[in-house]
Amino acid sequence: MATIAVLGTFDTKGEEHRYVADRIREHGHSVLLIDVGTLGPATLEAEISREEVAREAGADLAAVVARRDRGEAVALMTRAAPLVLARLQREGRIDGVISLGGGGGTAICTSAMRALPVGFPKLMVSTLASGNTAPYVGVKDIVMMPSVVDVAGINRLSRVILAQAAGAICGMVSARPPEAVLKPVIVASQFGNTTTCVTRAREILEAAGYEVMIFAATGTGGRTLESLVESGLVSGVLDITTTEWADELVGGVLNAGPTRCEAAARVGVPAIVTPGCLDMVNFGEPATVPARFAGRRFYHHNAQVTLMRTNPEECAQLGRILAEKCNMSKGPIRVFLPLRGISVISAPGQPFHWPEADAALFDAWKSNLRQDIPVTEYDGNINDPDFARLCAEGLLALIRR
């Protein structure tokens, strides 16, 4: 029998959380009720009260509520709830967490869920789950389930949705992967335009006894890769696809923030870095491309994805940025540059082939790089099997050092 935390604002949504708690008990699990409400009296008695939650952050909830500033109260719970949930998880008192909420409840409860490790079951039923969930999920594995109707009473539709949510979290806490031999971990970055390279490199690294975790370079993927490197669980980084920096610089939709490519450098983890897909900036449908880019070179990847070619000026800036990130490295690092295309579509004869732009990228990177960081230039495309082999074997050599 598992213990599932039912976390929520029990002043406004006590009835709904009680319904979910009852369904969880019917599945044979126990419940730990945690109240993070602030507006009025709780309609569901909690094992961990809102006052206790606030004290975890060193605050007096009554004093905050007396000021009648709901924003301040929500901010307090957003700070305090992660501390409570993380402590309960460390102490082994909970095996999963579920919450229901609108805007405020979703903000509070997902902040708490983000304090939990990847792999710990987390389910948020929210009125916001069908929109942009990135601010709520972050780099964690929070399952966002649309409430469809507002979380406001038990009716013929919410009864079904909430019962299924209770069943889902029970299934999550009961599911256990089969035992496996744990191997040292290498993380790699990948895009569709570098899949061939990363796949071949992964085969070589796995044959050498490593477990390879691949992250899509979609913004969230890059942030997650960086977070995992910072956790200390990673033996090496194969950063083939640094494309998120093109979106960060130019204004695309798949940026990973200004600290992308810094984690391995700060921690001192061995790393291979290449300019994979720095030839492209990502936008949505053609109509979503900002007007300031009219006249640029575009490639329609599919109906939802429009790619824009980086020009020589942007490529030179990217080269300087990547050099700066590499120069931060405390550990061993190498740079590999494929001279005949940094993606499938920048190879000779392909729509993004632009040798002058690539040269600007390579020259700026090399001229701004620390002299003790080796650079290997490969006379071929990034997806050539030999380039993949060079990168994989280069990383293995750095790890052995």
Residues 276-309: b if buried by 16+ CB within 10 A, e if exposed? bbbbbbbbeeeeebeeeeeeeebbeeeeebbbbb
Integer Cα distance of 51 and 285 in angstroms: 48
pLDDT score at 55: 93
3-state SS class at 37: coil
- Taking CA atoms, 97 is separated from 17, 126, 145, in Å, by 12, 14, 13
The CA R_g of the chain, rounded to the nearest whole Å, is: 24
Strand pairing category for 375-378 and 333-338: parallel
Integer Cα distance of 174 and 294 in angstroms: 53
Per the CB < 8 A criterion, the answer to whether 116 and 85 are in contact is yes
List the chain domain ranges: 3-174, 185-400
pLDDT score at 178: 85
pLDDT score at 399: 97
Longest dimension (CA), the chain: 70
CATH code of the domain made up of 185-400: 3.40.50.12030
Domains 3-174 and 185-400 share a fold: yes
Per the CB < 8 A criterion, the answer to whether 220 and 282 are in contact is no
Which fold would CATH assign to domain 3-174? Answer: Rossmann fold (3.40.50)
Which phi-psi region, left, alpha or beta, contains residue 153 (left: φ > 0; alpha: ψ -120 to 50)?
left
- Which residues sit opposite 283 in a β-bridge? 306
3-state SS class at 372: coil
Please list the ranges in the chain whose pLDDT falls under 50.
none
- Which residues sit opposite 216 in a β-bridge? 190
pLDDT score at 59: 83
Integer Cα distance of 357 and 224 in angstroms: 29
Integer Cα distance of 279 and 286 in angstroms: 18
Model's pTM, two decimal places? 0.79
- Which two structure tokens, joined as six digits, stand for 131? 């929109």
E strand intervals along 274-374: 280-283, 298-302, 305-309, 333-338
CA atoms 53, 56, 62, 63: torsion sign = negative
* Percent of residues in the chain assigned helix, strand, coil, to nearest 5: 45, 20, 40
Nearest to 249 by CA among 321, 305, 340: 321
Give residue-wise pLDDT tens across range 222-248. 999 999 999 888 999 999 999 999 999
